[in-house]
Chain A
Amino acid sequence: MHITLNGEAVDIAEGSTVAGLLEHLQLPRERVAVEVNLDIVPKAAYDGHGLSEGDRVEVVHFVGGG
């Protein structure tokens, strides 16, 4: 199925969860924040939060800034 991840169209397996997506991206969950369709997904909910066709997902982290 297709989702939009950080503005890019990507193909992920049916039944993927937020936790699965982060694992696939090799991103440690303690260092990121995830938004699905503009709602923040709490870290504790990553395992249970399934993704659906057309979801708009944002994964952010801290970068250098002033």
Chain B
Amino acid sequence: MTIKNDTWMIAGREFTSRLMVGTGKYASFQQTAEALAASGAEIITVAVRRVNLDRSKESLLDYIDPKKYTLLPNTAGCYTADDAVRTCRLAREAGMSDFVKLEVLGDEKTLFPDNEELLKAARILVKEGFTVLPYTSDDVIMCRKLEDIGCAAVMPLGAPIGSGLGIRNPYNIRIILETVKIPVIVDAGVGSASDAAVAMELGCAGVLMNTAIAGAQDPIAMARAMKLAVEAGRLSYKAGRIPRKLYANASSPLDGMI
């Protein structure tokens, strides 16, 4: 099996890279562009904000070609369904695409999702024709409800946003994978390449991260590390790992021993 023919789909659109990356927190737009290129990501998240009325400042899209990437606008910073829906409508108008990363936060300290508001927003957005990719807790029932509503994927967190704690509950992710048919993307919590590989080895369709790359000492190198980790994890999952055993099993034959 080669990784090349292992594509995946979101809402009828085909993608090759299973690494999705954010565009926040980089030292410069130049660094953002270089990290994106090194990551090989095809889907990148962006935020929707007021334009700076002082036009002396450059903007993200001066550095990133929207034709080269699928832009996935987020609703970061929204704490109510109403705010999130409003942001998605603006995002669709700004980007002329229906793809949205829906997040409705419940708490500033943890940035955990407010799942009640999330469901409310998801229902409205799906009805309005959006392709909704919701950031949610690693909760099986929530993921099932989001699938029932008509979301295009579910994006359970591995750990709190920006925490770098890795996949704290791989068993929940496994049950989610067994429960829903839509793509499961681990969103948030990845800190290092091994975390990304773990997500892929569990069988996730993809991984979304921002801080792990942007916050690394060398973001370009980390972007490449994440690209390789996602590919390695996926290949490992497809290859089928050996069962875990408590005792040893010799690799060298006993026959012919001197």
Least CB separation from A8: chain B residue: B53
Rounded to whole angstroms, the CA-CA distance of A26 and B59 in the bound complex is 12
Least CB separation from B93: chain A residue: A33
Query: What's the dominant secondary structure at chain B's contact region?
Result: mixed
Chain A 1-16 near chain B by CB (<8 Å), digits 1 or 0:
0000111101000000
Which size class do A's interface residues fall under? 20 to 34
Q: Are A27 and B55 neighbours in the complex by a CB distance under 8 Å?
A: yes
B8-16, B71-79, B141-149 - the one binding chain A: B71-79
Which of the residues A10, A38, A58 comes within 8 Å of B50, measured between beta carbons? A58
B24-32, B163-171, B225-233 - the one binding chain A: B24-32
Q: Does B46 contact A (CB under 8 A)?
A: yes
Contacts of A31 in B (CB 8 A): 59, 61, 94
In whole Å, how far is B209's beta carbon from the nearest beta carbon of chain A? 8
Least CB separation from A59: chain B residue: B51
Q: List 9 A-B contacts (CB under 8 A).
A: A6-B50, A7-B50, A33-B90, A34-B93, A38-B86, A40-B89, A60-B49, A62-B60, A66-B25
Q: Spell out B's residues near A (CB within 8 Å).
A: 22-26, 29, 32, 45-51, 53, 55, 59-61, 71, 73-74, 76, 86, 89-96, 161-162, 209-211
Given A31-B59, A63-B60, A65-B74: 18 more A-B contacts, CB < 8 Å: A5-B53, A7-B50, A25-B55, A31-B94, A33-B90, A33-B93, A40-B93, A43-B93, A58-B50, A59-B51, A61-B48, A62-B48, A63-B46, A63-B48, A64-B24, A65-B22, A65-B23, A65-B210
